[in-house]
Amino acid sequence: MTVDAALYTFISSFIALFPVINPVGSGFIVNGFLGNLDDVQRKTVIKKIIVNVLFIGMGCLLVGHLILLLFNLAVPVIQLAGGILICKTAWGLLSDSGSSVTDATHKAMDKINLDEIENKIFYPISFPISIGPGSVSVIFTLMATAEIKDNVLRTTANYGIIALVIVSMCIILYIFLSEGHRIMKRLGTSGNLVINKLVAFFTFCIGVQIVVTGISKIFHIPVL
């Protein structure tokens, strides 16, 4: 594989994955779940989220076709189910009253909040918020385009480049998970509430779009 071919594969894969994984937007959404954690707890939770996202991305890359064949699943079905999960999560964020509590209450709830976050690290924070069905379908698509008939070495190299892109997404997500709360502190309570509601609304819209896309592909209806 030439350097130009490798660079083209990396750039095209990066451009394809970035909008659907959206590590910047996901970073701000996930920060809404981590508001009551201290720095040590945040770092622990963020590391677990990144590991989960990396595991899901690499897992899809390595055994994606096998999973689809094993369960006889189609990508549009994954989009439909995942879109519903995203809508459910976003609706929960929209329904949150966002009422303020005292510092003492925050401290008393730290352990409870950490326990709640621990239960939500994989679902819904890691999947489908940080990496969702749209990302899975794009990874499957990249896998299909990466396969070169009768050229195992070239195919393996393409898979390695896609894996590097997934790692890059995790690095960007880690940066915004680590630094996003500082930006949110500067915005204050009212600013955070507005941003959280806007992000939740757009996340709900993304979920609806994924659902509609899945339905259109299942029933072959040119909706979008």
Higher-confidence residue of 108 and 56: namely 56
* Residue 184 is assigned to a structural domain of this protein: yes
What are all long-range contacts of 119-123, with beta carbons under 8 Å and residues at least 24 apart? 120/33, 121/45, 121/48, 121/49, 121/52, 122/52, 123/85
Provide the residue range defining the domain that includes 66: 3-218
Helix H or strand E encompassing 130: none
Given pLDDT bands bounded at 50, 70 and 90, which one contains residue 105?
A: very low
Find out whether 74 and 68 touch, Cβ atoms under 8 Å. yes
* Residue 31 is assigned to a structural domain of this protein: yes
- Residue 58 has a pLDDT of 94
* Residue 224 is assigned to a structural domain of this protein: no
Quick one: average pLDDT of 19-44? 82
Tokens of 95: 């329904």
* Residue 95 is assigned to a structural domain of this protein: yes
* Residue 223 is assigned to a structural domain of this protein: no
* Angstrom distances, CA of residue 74 to CA of 64, 83, 140, 146: 11, 14, 11, 19
* Residue 192 is assigned to a structural domain of this protein: yes
* Residue 163 is assigned to a structural domain of this protein: yes
What pTM was computed for the model?
0.70
- As for how many domains the chain has, the answer is 1
- Count CB atoms within 10 A of the CB of residue 210: 26
Find out whether 212 and 79 touch, Cβ atoms under 8 Å. no
Given pLDDT bands bounded at 50, 70 and 90, which one contains residue 162?
A: very high
Lowest average pLDDT, out of 13-17, 56-60, 105-109, 116-120, goes to 105-109
Question: Rounded to whole angstroms, how far apart are CA atoms 164 and 200?
Answer: 30
Find out whether 82 and 134 touch, Cβ atoms under 8 Å. yes
* Residue 179 is assigned to a structural domain of this protein: yes
Q: What is the mean pLDDT of the chain?
A: 80
